[in-house]
A = this chain, B = another copy of it.
Amino acid sequence: MIKAGENGNDRSVTQTVRAQLALRDLVLRGELNPGERVSELQMVERLGVSRTPVRSALIRLEEEGLLEAIPSGGFSVKTFSEKEVFEAIEIRGTLEGLAARLAAERGVSRAEIRNAANCLEAIDELMRRDTTDIDLSRYVELNAHFHEILVGMADSQALARQLERASALPFASPSALVPVQSRSPEMNYILSVAQDQHHCVLAAIERREGARAEAIMREHARIAHRNLERALTNQRDMDLVPGSVLIKRRIRA
C-alpha cells in the first residue's frame, strides 16, 4: 500500500485540508482508477483520518471537478475525453482574455505594470542564459506567476474565483502542458512565441487596448492546444502532464 503524501501531524492544518490534499494527490497520480468508486472507508484507512474529514474532502473535490457524484450515493473518479480537455483550455483562455481586457479597460498602476514586467524580465533572462537546456521547472513557476499577476490586475474577486475553478483541472492550468515541449525540438521556438505574447499582452494592457489584450490571451491559451495535440499522440509526452491518467487517450498504449 502506498502512503499518500507526508502525513506529518501538523496541528496547524485541519484534517479536512490534509485529506483534501492527499485525496487530490491520489487522484492526480492515478492511484485511484478513473471511473472507479472512491470508498469512504478505504480512504479513512489510507489517509489515517476519520470519515467526516474524508467526506468533506470528497464534496470539495467533486465541486472542484475531479470527482463525480454517483446517483445512488458516493463519488467516483471522473474521466475526461480529449474534447473536454480542449474545451477546458478554451474556457481558461476565454476567462484570461476577459481578465486582460478588464485590466486594460480599467487601467492599472505603474507599480503593477512594473511588477509584471519584472516577472517577464526574469523569464527573458532564463531563456537567454541557457538556450539549449532551459530550467523548465523554474520557467513553469515564473509562467504561473505571470498569469497570476495578470488575473490580479483585473482586480475582480469573482473572475479570480471562476478562473481558479477553470484551472482546477490540472491539465487545463496555464503551465500544465509546458513540460510537453521539453521533448520537442521546437521548444525554444514555442517558448519564444509564448513569451512574446506575454510581452504583447502587457503592452496592450498598459496602452489600455482592451480588445487586443483579450485576443492575445485567447491565442496564448491555444499554445496549450498544440501541446495537448502532441501529447495525445505520444505516451512519453503524456506522462509529463499532471493528471493525465484521467484523460481517455485516443491511442491505447
Q: A60-B63, A98-B91 are in contact. Are A162 and B165 (CB under 8 A)?
A: yes
Stoichiometry (number of copies): 2
**CB-based nearest B residue for A84:** B158
Count of chain A residues with Cβ under 8 Å from any Cβ of B? Answer: 26
A65 neighbours in B (Cβ, 8 Å) = 161
Roughly how many angstroms separate A60 CA and B69 CA in the complex, as a whole number? 13
Roughly how many angstroms separate A63 CA and B162 CA in the complex, as a whole number? 11
A60 neighbours in B (Cβ, 8 Å) = 59, 63
Roughly how many angstroms separate A242 CA and B90 CA in the complex, as a whole number? 31
Q: Does A220 contact B (CB under 8 A)?
A: no
Roughly how many angstroms separate A35 CA and B98 CA in the complex, as a whole number? 29
Q: Which residues in A have some Cβ–Cβ distance to B below 8 Å?
A: 52, 55-56, 59-60, 63, 65, 83-84, 87-88, 90-91, 94-95, 98, 102, 156-159, 161-162, 165-166, 169
Q: Besides A59-B59, A60-B63, A162-B165, 18 other CB < 8 A contacts?
A: A55-B56, A56-B56, A56-B59, A59-B60, A59-B63, A63-B63, A83-B156, A84-B156, A84-B158, A87-B156, A87-B159, A90-B98, A90-B102, A91-B95, A91-B98, A94-B94, A94-B95, A165-B165
